[in-house]
Amino acid sequence: AALISGQDVDGTGSRIEIHLQPGVMDPVASSTEMALRDAGLPAKQVRTGRAFVMKNSVDREQLKTIASRILANGVIESIHFAPYVPKEFESPHEQPFKLRHVPLVKLSEQELTKLSREGHLFLSLVEMQAIQKHFHSLEREPTDIELETIAQTWSEHCVHKTLKSAVDVRDESGKLIRRYDNLIKETIFNSTVELMNRRADNFCLSVFKDNAGVIAFDEDDAVCFKVETHNHPSAIEPYGGAATGIGGCIRDVMGTGLSARPIANTDVFCVAYPDSRDPTGRASSLPKNVIHPKRILQQVVAGVRDYGNRMGIPTVNGAVYFDDRYVGNPLVFCGCVGLIPRDKIAKRVDAGDAIVLMGGRTGRDGIHGATFSSAELTDTHADEFSHAVQIGNAITQKKMLDVILQARDRDLFSAITDCGAGGLSSAIGEMGETTGATVELDKVPLKYAGLRYDEIWISEAQERMVMSVPQEHVAEILKLAFGEDVEATVIGTFGTENEELILNYRNTEVGRLSMEFLHSGLPMPTRSATVRGVGVPPAHTRPEPQKHGRDAHATSWFRDRLLQALAHPNIASKHWIIRQYDHEVQGGSVVKPLVGPLQIGPSDASVVRPKLNSQKGVALACGLAPHIEDPYAMTIASIDESVRNAVCVGAHPDRIAILDNFCWPSVDTDQSMGDLVRACEACRDAALAYGIPFISGKDSLNNQFTDTATGKVIRIPNTLLISAIGVIDDVRQCVTMDLKGRTNRVVMIAARDPDDLNSLAATHRAVAEIIGGGTVLSAHDLSDGGLFVAAAEMCIASGKGLIVGAEQLMTGDAFTERPGRYLLELSDPTSVEDLRSRVAPHAEVTEIGLVQHLRKLTVTSERERVLEIGLDEMTEAWRGTLDW
């Protein structure tokens, strides 16, 4: 609930002030304090706020509604109806130190379950019993910090225990049909291993073992790619959740190997429709404590914008998907690509190395973020987990990046990772797994007084990295950081006699855990999964009314259907988002997010040139299809779309790698677990058929919202984001999707059997080779909206028209969506037959039409114009929906 204070002010001039609550990161205030200090002026306390004055008379209740539902987020802000001028700002005070033990050893099963939930541990009864057994063997109770450390390390968010679990897979009759000892290892990971063994080019350099996957770029450098989710924090505080989501993903790249230089960002948002309606057409009411989806989208966009732009990293690729099932649990995917020298990919932690903490200071923000992200959301979480919200400061991270890259090039550290979920607990716990570590928690720099030792340890305060620094380099790295106005502090050492994690605070040992138990003690019970419809061909196509013929009624239907499709939020232009992002910073953009003469066309993928003295580039694309119910078909469609998008700009499947990001509502039933199994199997099958390896991934498996008052559960659709990265040898050969020249032919290439993975793979390779041959002037994949929409988008992007035969366009297949289809504009009209021979027998080539100078999409039949739609009308429909 929002904090509201001050007397009510009625009438003209009603005033509302919004201020950050005590302890919340205030980047503008921090920069102001620094500027004042640099100028030699006193800066004891600085805070920022926002003031709103209402021109018209507003009564008390209206004012409160405006303030709490539109202007402020009560999770992090307080509301005042009178000028807020305190004598001094509130700030936390030092707390007396007291070591706390948690009675655990003698608890009953019911009491263990209660402790797990009320203590925000979110561990299962079996896991709590394993902890109980461990401390019983030690003949003592755990301290609070030990219990928090175990909960963080064992959280779904950090250890991915569901995907790593053993699974018994049964059909709908209950018959056991197969068993996995480790689901993700035996599907996705093993497919990558098999592909790496097939090829001798060392394309995959580091997969599934670092903060990001790494592939070869050129002889000197590699590129790495990571995509993360930040769903639960963004549901509570969208701006901060998205900003720290992209900030954390950037740090993943900074913490890959011995640090990569970020060169591009990506983002994908899944939210409810901004004008959600119930089946009767009335505006639907939102569940309690749920932020309006339009506000969520505006703020997550602002969060990614502000963080990426301020760090000087171009945001070049992404998507937005609308579905009302995301109303209580929006999805926020953030990605980052980095460039890293090949000789800096490997890292190690040596016993005796200093533990150096660099970057921002530690506060209460983000506490229990890892465990919170492992639970489902309810309407009470905004109050209960306000401490799990993090606020970022991009300028601090930019300065830290500059220091890290200099230190890397001087060989001053041997390992690095970021403080993400779990904070220091996760970073140091993982880095010291084989060596042990001793940490002096009172040496950690704090934002303010009053933090307990356990809060220091598990805080997810942003902009922090942990390094393993040989003792002989400690002084130099601290000096380097100081010179760039970046804090760096030695907080401990790696290496203990028995490979333990030892935590000290004010000369008192507050925690001691065996690294063996911490990282290998998690019980992994066998899960049960039921798969549905095995052997039934997946339905890739959205159901569409079947319309045939060219009578007046059918013609009107096709016209209306096209304009409706172009205006659909999932198809409509996202220019209002794209234009907020700086995709030109660093100077390497080649294929931009919007293309064509007026830069309004929806590019299939983006291409950047990381090294400005080279013509080699990196293509970035994505695919997702949560509207498809069948999990296997949904996965294939997502993978296929990401590959098609990359191929359309000039990438070849031999030089493409992909990432998976699973977002599931839950896996608490055999069927939902079965859906996850089928998605993993589809990932394996597609990777092997396409010859495209997975190099990294992430999962978020508790994305559903429960209204505690009604008990209603809103489950998101099974959602799998596939992100593709391709290396392009010469960016001068790239193509875009806008039509180029009058009378050029436009053809459709379509896999003959969209359910045959080998047919799809052969189609993608053939199209990639055709594009590489230089005869293709423009290329566009057929995805949302099918053939008719793709043709219209090519017209909109170019400002040119298209003449299309009615027999090609005005059929019941005009709006269908299935994998393996492209539209290509050809420079040589004689090349159509050559295309047919090159794609046979896996795909077929259909001549769609000719580019025309008139600004119309014209459908003809036997020299008669059956349908004409003006370019301006199509553009208005496409750009108007989300032109906010």
| Residue-range domains of the chain with CATH | 3-80 (3.30.1280.10), 735-884 (3.90.650.10)
Provide the pLDDT for residue 536: 43
Residue with tokens 């009560």: 74
Say whether 759 sits in a helix, a strand or coil: helix
What pLDDT digit, counting tens, does each position of 380-424 carry?
544 444 455 667 899 999 999 999 999 999 999 999 999 988 899
Question: Which DSSP helix (H) or strand (E) runs through 733?
Answer: none
Joined tokens for residue 628: 């498809």
Helix spans in 489-619 (H)? 515-520, 552-567, 575-578
Provide the pLDDT for residue 828: 82
> With 70 as the cut, is the pLDDT of residue 369 above it?
no
Provide the pLDDT for residue 145: 98
Burial of 839 (0-12, 13-18, 19+ CB in 10 A): buried
Measure the CA–CA gap between 180 and 753, rounded to whole angstroms.
30
Residue in 605, 576, 577 with CA at minimum distance from that of residue 591:
605
Helix spans in 691-818 (H)? 757-772, 786-798, 806-809
Catalytic pick from 19, 80, 134, 157?
A: 157
Burial of 421 (0-12, 13-18, 19+ CB in 10 A): buried
The predicted model gives 68-85 an average pLDDT of 85
Rounded to the nearest 5 degrees, what angle is found at the Cα of 421, between the Cα atoms of 314 and 676?
Answer: 90
What pLDDT digit, counting tens, does each position of 526-535 carry?
999 999 875 4
What pLDDT digit, counting tens, does each position of 447-491 carry?
888 899 999 999 989 999 999 999 999 999 999 999 999 999 999
Answer for the pair 690, 191: CB distance below 8 angstroms, yes or no: no
CA distances for 125 relative to 131, 145, 208, 669, 781, angstroms: 10, 20, 29, 17, 48
Catalytic pick from 80, 230, 232, 368?
A: 230
What pLDDT digit, counting tens, does each position of 606-623 carry?
999 999 999 999 999 999
Residue in 636, 626, 716, 720 with CA at minimum distance from that of residue 682:
636
What pLDDT digit, counting tens, does each position of 752-784 carry?
999 999 999 999 999 999 999 999 999 999 999
> With 90 as the cut, is the pLDDT of residue 643 above it?
yes
Computed from CA positions of residues 450, 453, 459, 463, in that sequence, does the dihedral angle turn out positive or negative? positive
Burial of 662 (0-12, 13-18, 19+ CB in 10 A): buried
Contacts of 787 (CB under 8 A, 6+ apart): 748, 808, 809, 813, 814, 815, 816, 821, 823, 848
Measure the CA–CA gap between 136 and 140, rounded to whole angstroms.
6
Answer for the pair 561, 567: CB distance below 8 angstroms, yes or no: no
Answer for the pair 719, 701: CB distance below 8 angstroms, yes or no: no
SS3 percent helix, strand, coil of the chain, rounded to 5, is: 35, 25, 40
Range from 282-286, 576-580, 819-823 carrying the lowest mean pLDDT: 282-286
Measure the CA–CA gap between 129 and 152, rounded to whole angstroms.
16
Q: Identify residue 135 by its one-letter amino acid code.
A: F
Joined tokens for residue 409: 């090039």
Measure the CA–CA gap between 876 and 796, rounded to whole angstroms.
10
Mean pLDDT over the full length of the chain? 91
Q: Given pLDDT bands bounded at 50, 70 and 90, which one contains residue 64? A: confident
For 370, phi and psi rounded to 5 degrees? -65, -45
Length of the chain: 884
Rounded to the nearest 5 degrees, what angle is found at the Cα of 761, between the Cα atoms of 322 and 650?
Answer: 75
The predicted model gives 13-23 an average pLDDT of 83
> With 90 as the cut, is the pLDDT of residue 102 above it?
yes
Annotation marks residue 157 as catalytic: yes
What pLDDT digit, counting tens, does each position of 700-751 carry?
998 999 887 788 999 999 999 999 999 999 999 999 999 999 889 999 999 9
Q: What number of CA atoms fall less than 13 Å from residue 677's CA on the CB side?
A: 27
Annotation marks residue 780 as catalytic: no
Measure the CA–CA gap between 104 and 117, rounded to whole angstroms.
14
Measure the CA–CA gap between 820 and 201, rounded to whole angstroms.
27
> With 60 as the cut, is the pLDDT of residue 503 above it?
yes
Provide the pLDDT for residue 377: 59
What pLDDT digit, counting tens, does each position of 653-693 carry?
999 999 999 999 999 999 999 999 999 999 999 999 999 99
Reported for 708-715, long-range contacts at CB under 8 A and 24+ positions apart, including other chains, are 708/378, 708/379, 708/380, 709/288, 709/379, 712/287, 714/287, 714/325, 714/327, 714/328, 714/329, 715/325, 715/665, 715/666
Number of other CB atoms surrounding residue 262 within 10 Å: 26
Joined tokens for residue 326: 């995301």
What pLDDT digit, counting tens, does each position of 110-144 carry?
999 999 999 989 999 999 999 999 999 999 999 99
Phi-psi category of residue 632: left, alpha or beta, with phi > 0 → left and psi -120 to 50 → alpha: alpha
Chain centroid, CA 558 distance in Å: 36
Question: Which DSSP helix (H) or strand (E) runs through 657?
Answer: strand 656-663
Residue with tokens 């991009």: 394
- For the entire predicted model, the pTM comes to 0.92
Q: Given pLDDT bands bounded at 50, 70 and 90, which one contains residue 492? A: very high
> With 50 as the cut, is the pLDDT of residue 1 above it?
no
Measure the CA–CA gap between 682 and 851, rounded to whole angstroms.
38
For 829, phi and psi rounded to 5 degrees? -65, -20
The predicted model gives 205-216 an average pLDDT of 97
